[in-house]
Amino acid sequence: MNISKSDIEEKLDLVRPFLAEDDGNVELVDITEKGEIKIRLKGNCSNCSMKENTIKLGIENILKQFYPEVSVVEVK
């Protein structure tokens, strides 16, 4: 897979303002050859009861709009 960290960071910047509204953030940890984007939720998002929705319905949906082959994996 040929997606750079800067490409993913640029797309994560699209969701960061929404996460910041709840004093949260997302950190890019790694991009694997299998197309897994490994992230870590930070701040209030890290222990929120809705974090799975944030990952799947928010972050993963945005990334898949640009890179349909990716999947997002949370790293704790």
The CATH number covering residue 21 comes to 3.30.300.130
Domain ranges, residue 45? 5-74
**What pLDDT, on the 0 to 100 scale, is given for residue 1?**
65
Q: pLDDT for 39-59, tens place per residue?
A: 999 999 999 999 999 999 899
**What pLDDT, on the 0 to 100 scale, is given for residue 10?**
96
**What pLDDT, on the 0 to 100 scale, is given for residue 27?**
96
Distances (CA, A) of 31 to 2, 12, 47, 55: 10, 13, 23, 16
**pTM for this predicted structure:** 0.90
Q: Indicate the number of domains in the chain.
A: 1
Residue owning tokens 């949370």: 74
All residue ranges of the chain with pLDDT < 50 are none
At a CB cut-off of 8 Å and minimum separation 6, what does 35 contact? 1, 67, 69, 70, 71
